[in-house]
Amino acid sequence: MIEVRGLTRRYGATLAVDDLSFTVEPGRVTGFLGPNGSGKSTTMRLVLGLDRPSAGLALVDGVPYRELAHPLRTVGALLDARWVHPNRTARAHLRWLARSNRLPPGRVDEVLDQVGLTAVADRRAGAFSLGMAQRLGIAAALLGDPEILLFDEPVNGLDPEGIVWVRRFVRGLAAQGRCVLVSSHLLPEMALTADELVVIGRGRLIAQSTTAEFVDSASRTSVRVDGPRLDELAAALRRAGVEVGPSGDGALTATGTPMARIGRVAADAGLALSELSLHRGSLEEAFMRITGHEVEYTAGGPAGGPDDSAALTAAKG
Amino acid sequence: MSVAAGSTTIARPGFAAAVAAERIKLTGIRSPWWCAGAAVAVTAGLGAIVSVATRYEGGPLTVATTQLVHSAGMAVVMVMAALAITTEHSTGTIRTTYLAVPRRGVALGAKAVVVAAVAAAVGLAGAFGSWGLSAALVPDVDLALHGAVEWRQVAGVGAVNLLAAVIALAVGILVRHTAGAVALVLVWGLVAEQLIGLLPGVGPALTPWLPFQAGKYFVTADGTATGLLGSPWAALGYLTAVAAGLLAVAVAVARRRDA
């Protein structure tokens, strides 16, 4: 389990991480979501003892990372796939890592096989493509067979095949009961990978909830209605208590009412429909709205609309 | 197979494991091998040339003469030592290192042990190479290692190289950037100390307290010499204290810093 309590990191006048608290439980993938520059990488570096917090603490397996007796057997991390000496072979890189933590030398070949790098194990890491480097980084994280794993933007820059591979791999690790934290700035990607989300903006916690809850609360659905006698249709819908307004392009948009009910109201009024369709707000839009709200808030600008606050409250609950 | 965490039966990986890892790191890439080879060749080759030239000019040729230019090989060794840490910073592997060995004193101490061992081996190979070549090229002069003084003059290069490498590593830990660390180490070791020695008045008084001059004194002093530091062994002790102190400061700074 990863526990972050009141974690704060200041760089000069900038607060990179601001009183952040969350937990990462085993047996599921926890997505660490936030726009670029929101403090995800800094938080991970603080959790891994690479940077020092200005305040608060981060515990892995109940202790600060720097006090772990068996770091690589406890935690596996991939923060940057290029943190490998370019002139060292993939196998040599894993060999020194294994030796430093007294891991059985046989683990090197096992993890190379697991990530599909056996064929290129004796090639210089500097000659690797980003996808291969990413796999080597994952192999290094898996070396000690740890129960806790952290991956920072593991699909960044990968081709579609690589993205699907990483996604499946990460889900597989959680299915084995491990504690997995994966960061990303893409909500749609996290929606496919994570069971639980920790959402941050400007170094602050915006929400921690299940992915389904967050997505539901974040993306608003509406129904688009069109027909030849639009004014009568709008009046009939309003009489039936349906919240309806102009869609902006000559049709109507109804919110908060199931599609079937709108169809029935129209039929009861004897009005023909030329369109009745469901519109789900995109996850990107929702994510930008929610984290944008946070940006405006911290910048001291105008607060977001009431709908956004409602979405936030729901997501936090 | 399972190597799962939390089992208290597995011994905590200690300093020896970190040293073994650093050994694999240093020997797993080519540049340290090139540095080591170059250092041995430079020390042995230049030393032999100096011996032959001294003989032809009719100067006194002694065992100490064969080691007059040991600092040339030492310079290469110091570059290697500085690179051992600065390339970790430039490639980002230092973070991988600290993830594997989060106790930074252990990680950096292990690196110091490996770098120092290589530096000492290179120094010994170069010194005995120079001495052997000189003895072979100038057979009419007695260059035999008769006693403790001659042994110190040749084998002492190993000790001085070891300490110079530790100093260079410490500077590398502090400065982090390759160019800066290498420039600092070479300019100080090869140029600045000589210039300080030439300062009128204070120069001669300061010289015994300059670390690399102390090293040079340890290697080249004959049996009768007495400097301000007394014996050559006191000079070596002083150099050891400087190297250990610098490394301690560097580790303390690295512990506090963001990786």
List, for residues B154-205, the tens digit of each pLDDT value: 999 999 999 999 999 999 999 999 999 999 999 998 889 989 988 888 888 8
Structure ipTM: 0.87
Q: What is the pLDDT of residue B8?
A: 52
Given A216, A245, A269, which residue is the final one in a domain?
A: A216
Count of CB contacts below 8 A, A vs B? 117
**What is the model's pLDDT at position B225?**
61
Average pLDDT, integer, range A171-192: 92
Give the residue on B whose Cα is nearest the Cα of A73.
B5
Per-residue pLDDT band at A175 (split at 50, 70, 90): very high
Mean pLDDT for chain B? 90
pLDDT at A213 over 80: yes
Evaluate whether residue A243 is within a structural domain.
Answer: yes
Task: Please tell me the least confidently modeled range out of A225-229, A310-314, B247-251.
Answer: A310-314
pLDDT at B235 over 50: yes
The answer to the question of residue A192 being in a domain is yes
Q: Which residue in the set A85, A100, A145 is minimally distant from B13, CB to CB?
A: A100
Residues B21, A89: C-beta atoms closer than 8 Å: no
Question: Of the candidates A187, A216, A245, which is a domain's last residue?
Answer: A216
State the pLDDT at residue A256: 77
Question: How far is the alpha carbon of A292 from chain B, nearest alpha carbon, in Å?
Answer: 30
Domain of residue A46: give its range: 2-216
- Numbered residues of chain B with Cβ closer than 8 Å to any chain A Cβ: 1-6, 10-13, 17-18, 20-22, 24-25, 28-31, 87-88, 91-93, 95-96, 98-103, 256, 258-259
Q: Residue B95: which of A69, A83, A146 has the nearest Cβ?
A: A83
Asked if residue A75 is part of any domain, the answer here is yes
From B244's Cα to the closest Cα of chain A, the distance in A is 24
Q: Do B10 and A48 touch (CB under 8 A)?
A: no
The distance of B4 to chain A (nearest Cα, Å) reads: 6
Same domain (yes/no): A144, A259: no
pLDDT the model gives residue B184 = 95
For chain B, domain boundaries: 15-256
A171 and A106 in one domain? yes
Q: Which two tokens stand for residue A299?
A: 């910048």
| Residue A236 pLDDT greater than 50, yes or no | yes
- Is position A45 within any domain? yes
Q: Do A132 and A193 lie in a common domain?
A: yes
Residues A99 and A229 in one domain: no
Co-location of A182 and A247 in the same domain: no
B90 contact residues in A (CB cutoff 8 A): none
pLDDT band at A307 (very low <50, low <70, confident <90, very high): very low
Among B96, B106, B178, the strongest candidate for a mutation testing the A interface, having the largest count of A CBs within 10 A, is: B96
Q: Which of A216, A232, A251 is the last residue of a domain?
A: A216
Instruction: Please indicate whether, in this complex, the C-beta atoms of A147 and B22 are within 8 angstroms of each other.
Output: no
- N-to-C CA span, chain B: 33
Closest-CA distance of chain B to residue A116, Å: 18
- Give yes or no for residue A304 having a pLDDT over 70: no
Which three-class secondary structure string do you get for chain B? CCCCCCCCCCCCCCHHHHHHHHHHHHHCCCHHHHHHHHHHHHHHHHHHHHHHHHHHCCCCCCCHHHHCCHHHHHHHHHHHHHHHHHHHHHHCHHHHHHHHCCCHHHHHHHHHHHHHHHHHHHHHHHHHHHHHHHHHHCCCCCCCCCCHHHHHHHHHHHHHHHHHHHHHHHHHHHHCCHHHHHHHHHHHHHHHHHHHHHCCCHHHHHHHHCHHHHHHHHHHCCCCCCECCECHHHHHHHHHHHHHHHHHHHHHHHHHCCC
CB contact under 8 A, A96 and B28: yes
Nearest to B13 among A67, A79, A102 (CB): A102
- We report the CATH number of the domain holding residue A229 as 3.30.70
Which candidate in A45, A48, A95, A100 is best for mutational testing of the B interface (most B CBs within 10 A)?
A: A100
Task: Name chain B contacts of A51, Cβ cutoff 8 Å.
Answer: 258-259
Contact at CB, A71 and B95, closer than 8 angstroms: no
CB contact under 8 A, A147 and B28: no
CATH number at residue A33: 3.40.50.300
Ramachandran quadrant class, A147 (left: phi over 0; alpha: psi -120 to 50; beta: rest): alpha
Of the pLDDT bands very low, low, confident and very high (cuts 50, 70, 90), residue A308 is: very low
Reported confidence tier of residue B224, pLDDT bands at 50, 70, 90? low
Within a domain: residue A309? no
Q: Could you give the number of structural domains in chain A?
A: 2
In a domain, A296, yes or no: no
Which residue from A50, A89, A144 is facing B259, i.e. has the nearest CB? A50
Task: Tell me, yes or no, whether A198 lies in a domain.
Answer: yes
Task: Report the pLDDT averaged over residues A132-151.
Answer: 95
> Could you tell me if A117 and A253 lie in one domain?
no
